């Protein structure tokens, strides 16, 4: 398995592509590249996650003030969050510098406000009302667990993290593990082999 999209600077040469993605009822032309996750276009798991975002019913709670796309790749989740919550402060985090450049360019192209950042450059005192993610399952269980606990601890008191995980990639065991760690996690949807999980603060 190639692991270049988990690297700070991908070793594979950049091969840019243009794709169209429907976000919030709009079809947006976006730039992708080799060397980032799903560089050929929108993957099925992320599409199911974005469908869930589109389906979210209006809440009696205030709209989130600050939201995070964890593992942004070329930016579809971040741009969807910025479209869905136009008044929110949207952050997009990735370890891959090429991914951050693509996300920033795609956001600017469509006049959407998104702050891109390496994980270590996110101010330590920032908390998030919403985290949405197609998490990097293939980095390995131990690294994934560390990643999730680190960012779950950035949730506000009433914050939630919503993520999509393949059933065959351990979604059910991950849900059990999160619960065992003291993070209440429920399955809020199932779509073609994928689980949509939502985690709340204890």
Establish if 177 belongs to a structural domain: yes
The fraction of the chain above a pLDDT of 90, given in percent, is 76
d(CA 141, CA 136): 10
Establish if 107 belongs to a structural domain: yes
Would the pLDDT of 5 be above 70?
no
Establish if 32 belongs to a structural domain: no
Establish if 85 belongs to a structural domain: yes
Residue 6: what pLDDT? Answer: 56
Establish if 184 belongs to a structural domain: yes
Return all residues near 34 (Cβ < 8 A) that are at least 6 apart: 10, 12, 13, 14, 15
Residue pLDDT, tens place only, 145-184: 999 999 999 999 999 999 999 999 999 999 999 999 999 9
How much is the average pLDDT of 176-194? Answer: 95
Establish if 6 belongs to a structural domain: no
| Residue 99, domain CATH | 3.40.50.150
Establish if 63 belongs to a structural domain: yes
Residue 1: what pLDDT? Answer: 38
**What pTM does this model have?**
0.92
E strands present in the chain: 16-23, 26-33, 66-70, 89-93, 114-117, 128-133, 155-166, 185-191, 194-200
How many domains are there within the chain?
Answer: 1
d(CA 65, CA 57): 17
If you ran DSSP here, which 8-state letter would residue 34 be given? T
Alpha helices (H) along the chain: 44-55, 76-84, 97-109, 141-152, 171-180
Would the pLDDT of 9 be above 80?
no
Residue 59: what pLDDT? Answer: 63
Residue pLDDT, tens place only, 53-107: 988 766 656 789 999 999 999 999 999 999 999 999 999 999 999 999 999 999 9
Establish if 68 belongs to a structural domain: yes
Q: Could you tell me the residue range of the domain that residue 130 belongs to?
A: 43-200
Question: What's the whole-number average pLDDT of the chain?
Answer: 91
Q: What is the CA radius of gyration of the chain?
A: 16
Would the pLDDT of 3 be above 80?
no
């Amino acid at each position: 398995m190639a692991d270049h999209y988990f690297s700070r600077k991908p070793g594979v040469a950049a091969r840019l592509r243009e794709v169209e993605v429907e976000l919030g009822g709009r079809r947006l032309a976006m730039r992708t590249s080799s060397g980032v996750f799903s560089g050929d276009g929108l993957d099925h798991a992320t599409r199911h996650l974005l469908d869930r975002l589109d389906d979210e019913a209006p809440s009696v709670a205030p709209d989130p003030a600050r939201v995070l796309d964890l593992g942004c790749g070329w930016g579809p989740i971040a741009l969807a969050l910025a479209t869905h919550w136009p008044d929110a402060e949207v952050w997009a985090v990735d370890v891959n510098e090429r991914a951050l450049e693509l996300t920033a360019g795609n956001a600017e192209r469509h006049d959407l406000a998104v702050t891109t950042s390496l994980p270590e450059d996110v101010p330590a005192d920032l908390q998030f009302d919403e985290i949405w993610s197609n998490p990097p399952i293939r980095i390995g269980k131990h690294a994934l667990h560390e990643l999730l606990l680190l960012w779950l601890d950035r949730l506000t008191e009433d914050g939630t993290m919503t993520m999509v995980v393949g059933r065959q990639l351990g979604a059910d065991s991950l849900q059990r593990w999160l619960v065992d760690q003291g993070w209440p996690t429920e399955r809020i949807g199932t779509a073609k082999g994928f689980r949509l999980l939502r985690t709340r603060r204890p």
